[in-house]
Amino acid sequence: MTNMRHSLDTGPAAIRPPPGCPPIDAAADRAHFPALADGLRYLDSAATSLTPTCVIDAVRDAMLAGGSAHRGLYPLAQRATAALEGARRDVAAALGGAAEQIVFTRSATEGLNLVAEGWARPRLTAGAAIVITRAAHHSNLLPWRRICRAAGAELRIAECDARGVLDLESLTPLLDRRVVAVALTHVSNVTGAIAPLDAIAALRRRHAPQAALIVDGAQALPHIAVHAPGSRADFYVFSGHKVCGPQGIGAVWAPVERWAEAEPLLVGGGAVLDVGDGHIVWSEGPARFEAGTANMPGAVGLAAGLAFLDRHRDTARSVALTAALRTRLARVPGVRLLGDPPGAVGAVSFVFDGLHPHDVGAVLAERGVAVRVGHHCARPLLAHFDVRSAIRASIGLHTSAADLDALVDGLRAARELLAPPETGRGEVHR
Amino acid sequence: MSGLYTDPLLTLSRETRWARLPADAARATAHNPLCGDEITVAARVLDGAVLDLGFVAHACAVCNAAATAMCDVIAGAPLSAVDAHRAALSRTVRSGEAESDALTPFAALAAHPSRAACAELPWKALQAALAAPRASRVHQSTAARQASAQAPERVSERAPEPVLATLDDWARVQRLLAEGRRCAIATLTAVVGSSPCPLGSRMIVRDDGHFWGSVSGGCVESAVVQAALTLLDDPAGPQSASADYQIANSQAGAVGLPCGGRVTVHVALAPDIEQVAAIRAAHETGAVRVLSLTDGACHIARAGAGPLSEAIDAVLASERPLQVDEPTPVFVEPLRSPPRLVLIGGTHIAQKLCRMAVEAGFAPIVVEPRADWARPGRFADATVVRERAERVLPGLIDSRTAVVTLTHERLLDDPALKVALASPAFYIGALGSRRTQQARLARLADDGVPPAQLARLHGPAGLPIDGKGAGEIALSILAEIVATRRRVERPRRVGAVVLAAGSSRRAGPINKLLHPIDGAPMVRHAVRAALDAEVEPVLVVLGHEAERVRAALADLPVRFVHNAEHAAGMGRSIACGIAALAERTAEPPVDAALVMLGDMPYVRAEDIARIVAAHRASTRHLIAAPEAGEGAARRRGNPVLWPRRYFAALQRLEGDAGGRHILQGAPGAILRVPIDHPGVLRDVDAP
Ligand SMILES: Cc1ncc(COP(=O)(O)O)c(C=O)c1O
C-alpha cells in the first residue's frame, strides 16, 4: 500500500492511473512470495501462480515427514496416508465437496485426459458427438479430438463472438441426443472471459440431458470460489500450480456415481485390491484412479495453496483489477486488446502495433516485467482473433497498480526500441 | 539500451531482400511451439549449391534477422557448407563469441538462452527443405493444414526442383544406386494440350518416397511418387507402368496456361548401376536412350540402320525426345543436357533473352545480386541466383555454357567476365557499345587477363542485325550464341581445290607447273601448303599434261579430278573442282572451298590457316580473301575461300575469268584477311 502510494504521488504524469481506474492494492502482500523478492513485476499468474512461503513450508514439512501413503502399517507410512487423505478432504472442502469425489492428478491436462479417456471414450460410438468451445485450451481440445477420431464421433465447436464471449446461440443447435459430453472452459486463459455455467447447464438439461458437463476450471479457481456440486458440472478439473500450490499436482472433482462409471487412465500398484491370473478386484474410491505411489507432498501443497487462496481471494477485486489492466493497456498507443468480454477476470491478451510479441516480451523481461507471449496453447481462439501470437498479462494475489505501471512503461520502451524508424527520418527509400 | 536488440540486429530484422519464396524450390516450414513463430524457407538447388533462397516468416526480430543473415551466407553456397554455417551460429549463440562479423548481432543471445531457438528456426526450416522429405509427408501436410491449426507439428513440403540438367539426373541415379538405394525414374512421355513441363521431363523417386525433378510442376507428382513406390515395393511385380494424368485447371492457371492438358507419365525401375554408368558415358556422344514403354527396359542407340534409325536421326537433329509406337512403343530421348545460358544482370534484355533461350533449348540462369532486379516474378522461365556472379559462376559454367554480361555496371560485369574468360564457356559476350567494349578490353588487359582470353570475348555481343529495342538485341545475342555453339560443336569443314589443269594459252611449250622451285615441282608447293594447313580434302584439277602432273603429286594424300575442257580457261577448272568437292557424299560435306592456284608456290601453310581460321571465327558465312601489300599497292590476293552458298555460282564459271566477278558483286560479303607476306600476291607466269 505505502509502496504504491509512493509511486503514484511522485511518478511522472504518464504513469498516473487515468481517471476511472482506482488504485488497487495487492490482495496478498508481496512478502508472501519469495519469487518477488528482487522486485520482479510478475504478470504471468495465468501460466503459473507464484508459490507463497506457507505452501513451500507445507510441502517441505510433508517431505520431511516422508513415508508412502497407502503402503505401510508403521507410523511413518500411516502419517503419509493421513496427510494425503487429509489433503483430499481439504481440497474437497475447498470446492464444497466430499473427499471421495476428489481424484488427484498430475495437472489439469492429466485431469482432462482422464475424463476424456476414462469416462467419455468408453461411451463414445460412431455418430456420437462431443461439444467443445472455441475458447478451449489445447488441453481441453486435443483429448476430445483424439477420442472423437478414434471412435468416429463428431467434434462440435461452439463459437465465440467478437468480444470473446461464448455464443449461446451457436451452442444450442450443437446440443442434441447424440452428445456424450460438453467440455467447457470456465475462464479463458486468453481473454479472461467467464463462461456462463448456469445457462449452459440449463441448455444441456433441455437439449442433451444425457450429456456430461466437463468444466476446465484451471483459470477459474484462482479468482472464483467455485462450489463444485452446485455448479452442475459432472467433472470439474483444475491444477495445483495455478492456485498457489506446487507444480505436478492437480485434481478432478466428480460425483461418486460418475467415478463409478469411469475407467482409470493408468493401471498399476494401488489401483487394485487383488489381482489373480484371471481376475482383478479394483480398489474402491479415488484410489482406483491413482495407480502408483501418490504425490503426497503435492497434495498437501495443493490443499495449502487452496487454503491460502481462500484467505486472500476476492473475486470483485480480481474483476476490478482486470478491468483496470484492460483500461491501462487500451490507452497505450498501438495496443489492440483481444476480445472484450464483460466481467473478465485474470488474463488480458493483446497485440502491439505490428511488433512481434516475442520481442516485446523480451524487452519487458529485460526490465523485470514478466508476461507471457505466444499462442497460449489456444491456437483456435487466437485464430478467431486473427492473430498467431499475442502478449498476455495476467494478475495474481500480489498484483497491484505498481505492476500495471511497470507494464505500461515497459511497453512504451519496447515501442521506442523496436518500432522501425519512421519514414522520412534519414531513411533512404528507393 | 538493450543488449539483444542492437541496431545491427534490428536492421537485419527489417531487411526484406530475401522476403520471398522462389518458385520451383524445395520448401519447408518450421515452428517454434514456445512462441508460435513460424517460418517457411524455400531453396533452389543446382549442382550441389544453393542457387537461390528466400523466406516468409511470422516471427520475432531475432528469427527474422537470423533468416536474413542465413540467406546472405547461403545464397550461392555449396550444400556441404550449410551444416557448417548453422554450427557456427549455434556456437555463437551459446558462447557469446561471434565467429564472424555476420554473426556479431547474434552473440548477445548467449545471455538469452530461450531465444537461441528463434535464431535457429530459419536453419531448421532450411535443413528440412534441403533434406529428404518422405512422400507421405506431402500428404500429411495437406491433412495437417485442413485440421484446424493447433498442434505444433512440423509441416514439410517440397516443391519440385527445376528440370535443368538431365545429365544430373543420371548422376543422381548413379549416386543413389551406389549408396545401395533403389529408385524409379518417371518420364513425361506424352502431352496433350498444354503442360508446364516439356516432354522428357523426369522425376527420380527414391525407395523412401523422396523425389527429385518434376513432370508437371507440382500437379501430379504425389500420384507419380505413389506409382513409383508401388513398383519399388514389389520386386516380383511389373518393372514399369504408365498412367495418364489431367493437369488441373487451377494448376494450369498458376503456370500461365489457359487450360489444363493431359500428360502421360511412364514410371520404370532404374536400370542397374553399370547401365547407368554407360548412359552417363554416352552423354554428348551423339547417342540416344531408347526406353521401352512396355517393360521399362532401356538401351543406348546410335544413328544407323534398323527400324528406329529414322526416329533416332530425328531425335539427334532436334535434340528433343520422341515417342515411337511401331514396332513396339518406345520413347527415344537424346543423351544431352540442355546447354546453359548464364546472364549476368536481371535486366530488361535478360528477361527477353530468357524467354527466347528457353524456346531455343537453353536452360537460362540469371545471376543478379541486386534485390530490385532479381525480384520474384521477373523471370518466370529462369533460375535466378541472388549472388555476385564471380562467386557462383565457377559452379555454373561448363563447355556447353554461354555467358553474357548485361548490367552496364563494370563493378558487376568485369569480375564476371574475368571468371568467364578463364572458363570453358563456349561463348562469352558483353553488352555495350563499341566504345564501351574498347574501354572494357583495356581494363581487363590492365587487370592481367591474357590476350588469348580477351580474344574470346564477343563484344558488343550479338550479330550485327541492327536490332532496335530489348527484344531485337536479345534476338541478335541469342543468334550469335547459337551460331557460335554450332560452330564449336562442328567446326566448319574447309576443302581445297588446287587448279593444276594449265591452259594452253598461258603455259607455252613447257609446263611451268612442273618447273622446279626450291627443288620441287612448282605445283607441289601449293598442294603441300594446303595439306600442311590441314585443309581436307584437297582436290587437284588436272588437264594439260595430266599424267605428268599427277606423277609429281602421286605420293601426297590428294584426289584428282580431270577437266577435259582445260583449254577453255580457268573457269571450267574451278567449276569442275567445286562440283567434285560438292559431290563427295561419302564424307561430311564441306562448308567452304579454298580455290588455290597451282602457280602460286609462295603461299605458305600459315597463310592458308589464317584464312580458314578467320572464316571459322566469323559467325557469318563470308568469302575470305587475303590482302597484302603496302599503301597503294595493297590488294586482294589468293587463295580465296568460298562458302558453300557460292558453290552453285562457281560451278557455272566459264572462260578464264575465275571468281573475280562474283567477288565484285558481293563486296559486303568479303572478309578481308590481312597477310604480312607477299606470297599471296605472287604468281609465277613464266619461269
Ligand atoms: C484453461 C486452461 N486449461 C488447462 C491448462 C493446463 O493446465 P496444466 O498445466 O496444469 O496441465 C491451463 C494452463 O495453462 C489452462 O490455462
Residue of minimum CA distance from atom 7 in ligand 1? A108
Measured over the CA atoms of residue B347, residue B348, residue B350 and residue B351, the dihedral's sign is positive
Write out the three cell numbers for B146: 485442413
Which residues from chain A sit within 8 angstroms of residue B60, using beta carbons? 356-359, 362
Architecture label for domain A5-52+314-423: Alpha-Beta Complex (3.90)
Task: Decide if B245 contacts B193 (C-beta within 8 A).
Answer: no
Residue of minimum CA distance from atom 11 in ligand 1? A109
CB of A137 sitting under 6 A from ligand 1: yes
Q: Mutation test of ligand 1: which of A49, A242, A382 has the most ligand atoms closer than 8 Å to its C-beta?
A: A242
- Same-domain status, B139 and B201: no
CB of A399 sitting under 6 A from ligand 1: no
Among the atoms of ligand 1, which is closest to the Cα of residue A109?
11
- Same-domain status, B367 and B286: no
- Listed by number, the residues of chain A in 230-269 with a beta carbon closer than 8 Å to a beta carbon of chain B are none
Percent of chain B as helix, strand, coil, to the nearest 5? 40, 20, 35
- Does B66 score more than 90 pLDDT? yes
Flag the least confident range among A150-159, B168-177, B257-266, B613-622. B257-266
Residue B503 belongs to what domain range? Answer: 494-680
- Does B140 score more than 50 pLDDT? no
- Same-domain status, B633 and B524: yes
Contact (CB<8Å) B2/A359: no
* pTM (predicted TM-score): 0.53
In angstroms, the separation between the Cα of residue A376 and the nearest Cα of chain B is 8
Query: How many domains does chain B divide into?
Result: 4
- Same-domain status, B503 and B613: yes
- Same-domain status, B66 and B215: no
- Same-domain status, B268 and B345: no
What is the model's pLDDT at position A394?
Answer: 97
Write out the three cell numbers for A405: 505501471
CB of A107 sitting under 6 A from ligand 1: yes
Architecture label for domain A54-310: 3-Layer(aba) Sandwich (3.40)
Write out the three cell numbers for B368: 543478379
Q: Which of B4, B59, B372 sits opposite A362 (nearest CB)?
A: B4
**Helix locations, B234-272, DSSP H:** 249-254
CA dihedral B267, B273, B276, B282 (to 10 degrees): -160
User: How big is the CA angle at A294 (ends A289 and A297), to the nearest 5 degrees?
Assistant: 135
Among B430, B459, B488, give the residue marking a domain's end. B488
- Concatenated DSSP letters for B562-622? E-TTGGG-HHHHHHHHHHHHHH--SSPPPSEEEEEETT-TT--HHHHHHHHHHHHHSSS--
Residue span(s) of chain A under CATH 3.90.1150.10 come to 5-52+314-423
Q: Given pLDDT bands bounded at 50, 70 and 90, which one contains residue B341? A: very high
Strongest mean pLDDT among A179-183, B58-62, B129-133: A179-183
Please report whether residue B444 resides in a domain.
yes
Closest CA to A356 of B69, B89, B104, B5: B5
One-letter amino acid of B97: E
Q: Given pLDDT bands bounded at 50, 70 and 90, which one contains residue B250? A: very low
- Does B351 score more than 80 pLDDT? yes
Q: Given pLDDT bands bounded at 50, 70 and 90, which one contains residue B489? A: low
What is the model's pLDDT at position B198?
Answer: 74
Interface test with A, best of B2, B39, B109, B115 (most A CBs within 10 A): B2
- Same-domain status, B424 and B510: no
φ/ψ of A191, rounded to 5, equals: -105, -10
One-letter amino acid of B145: R
Distance A306 CA to ligand 1 centre (A): 17
CB of A400 sitting under 6 A from ligand 1: no
Write out the three cell numbers for B225: 511418387
Please report whether residue B216 resides in a domain.
yes
Which residues from chain A sit within 8 angstroms of residue B148, using beta carbons? 379-380, 383
CB of A108 sitting under 6 A from ligand 1: yes
CB of A250 sitting under 6 A from ligand 1: yes
Average pLDDT, chain B: 82
Q: Which of B35, B148, B150 sits opposite A358 (nearest CB)?
A: B35
HEC readout, B151-183: CCCCCEEECCCCCCCHHHHHHHHHHHHHCCCCE
Contact (CB<8Å) A359/B61: yes
Closest CA to B523 of B495, B550, B505, B543: B550
Task: Determine the straight-line distance between the first and last CA of chain B, rounded to whole angstroms.
Answer: 101
Flag the least confident range among A278-292, B138-152, B471-485. B138-152
The Cα–Cα gap between B90 and B102 comes to 13
Residue span(s) of chain A under CATH 3.40.640.10 come to 54-310
Write out the three cell numbers for A190: 486468453
Is B151 touching A (CB cutoff 8 A)? yes
What is the model's pLDDT at position B560?
Answer: 93
SS3 label, residue B25: coil
Is B375 touching A (CB cutoff 8 A)? no
CB of A239 sitting under 6 A from ligand 1: yes
Distance B387 CA to ligand 1 centre (A): 49
What is the model's pLDDT at position B249?
Answer: 52
Q: Which of A366, A374, A417 sits opposite B36 (nearest CB)?
A: A374
Which residues from chain B sit within 8 angstroms of residue A382, using beta carbons? 36
Between B246 and A171, residue with greater pLDDT: A171
- Same-domain status, B552 and B435: no
Distance A218 CA to ligand 1 centre (A): 6
Please report whether residue B355 resides in a domain.
yes
What are B554-576's pLDDT values in tens digits?
Answer: 999 999 999 988 888 889 999 99
Distance A113 CA to ligand 1 centre (A): 12
β partners of residue B246: B262
Q: Given pLDDT bands bounded at 50, 70 and 90, which one contains residue B147? A: very low
Which residues from chain B sit within 8 angstroms of residue A138, using beta carbons? 150-151
Closest residue on chain A to B112 (Cα): A362
Closest CA to B216 of B191, B242, B179: B191
Interface test with A, best of B150, B153, B155 (most A CBs within 10 A): B150
The Cα–Cα gap between B231 and B240 comes to 7
Q: Which of A375, A380, A420 sits opposite B36 (nearest CB)?
A: A375
Please report whether residue B687 resides in a domain.
no
Distance A243 CA to ligand 1 centre (A): 11
Closest CA to B340 of B21, B47, B22: B47
Q: Give catalytic residues of A, as residue numbers.
A: 377
SS3 label, residue B543: strand
Write out the three cell numbers for B640: 580465296
What is the model's pLDDT at position B139?
Answer: 30
- Same-domain status, B359 and B331: no
Q: Mutation test of ligand 1: which of A109, A265, A376 has the most ligand atoms closer than 8 Å to its C-beta?
A: A109
What are B627-679's pLDDT values in tens digits?
Answer: 998 888 888 999 999 998 899 999 998 887 778 888 888 777 788 888 988 88
φ/ψ of B111, rounded to 5, equals: -85, -5
Q: Which of B14, B35, B36 sits opposite A420 (nearest CB)?
A: B14
Contact (CB<8Å) B34/A362: no
Distance A157 CA to ligand 1 centre (A): 19
What is the model's pLDDT at position B252?
Answer: 40
Q: What is the mean pLDDT of each run of 10 residues along chain A (430 residues)?
A: 34 39 74 94 97 96 88 85 94 95 97 96 93 92 94 92 91 94 96 94 94 97 94 95 97 95 85 72 83 94 96 93 94 92 95 87 92 83 84 96 94 86 36
CATH number, domain containing residue B531:
3.90.550.10
Please report whether residue B652 resides in a domain.
yes
- Same-domain status, B379 and B277: no
Interface test with B, best of A144, A146, A359 (most B CBs within 10 A): A359
CB of A139 sitting under 6 A from ligand 1: yes
- Same-domain status, B474 and B351: yes
CATH number, domain containing residue B369:
3.40.50.720
The residue written with cell numbers 567476365 in the block is: B417
Q: Given pLDDT bands bounded at 50, 70 and 90, which one contains residue B538? A: very high
Closest CA to B143 of B129, B134, B153, B133: B153
Q: What number of C-beta contacts closer than 8 Å exist between A and B?
A: 67
What is the model's pLDDT at position B503?
Answer: 59
> B256: burial class by Cβ within 10 Å (0-12, 13-18, 19+)?
exposed
β partners of residue B671: B624
- Same-domain status, B568 and B662: yes
Interface test with B, best of A356, A373, A377, A382 (most B CBs within 10 A): A356
What is the model's pLDDT at position B585?
Answer: 61
HEC readout, A362-384: HHHHHCCEECEEECCCCHHHHHH
The Cα–Cα gap between A191 and B270 comes to 58
Closest CA to B106 of B179, B9, B21, B192: B9
Q: Given pLDDT bands bounded at 50, 70 and 90, which one contains residue B510? A: low
CB of A115 sitting under 6 A from ligand 1: no
In angstroms, the separation between the Cα of residue B28 and the nearest Cα of chain A is 19
- Concatenated DSSP letters for A172-202? GGG-STTEEEEEEESB-TTT-PBP-HHHHHH
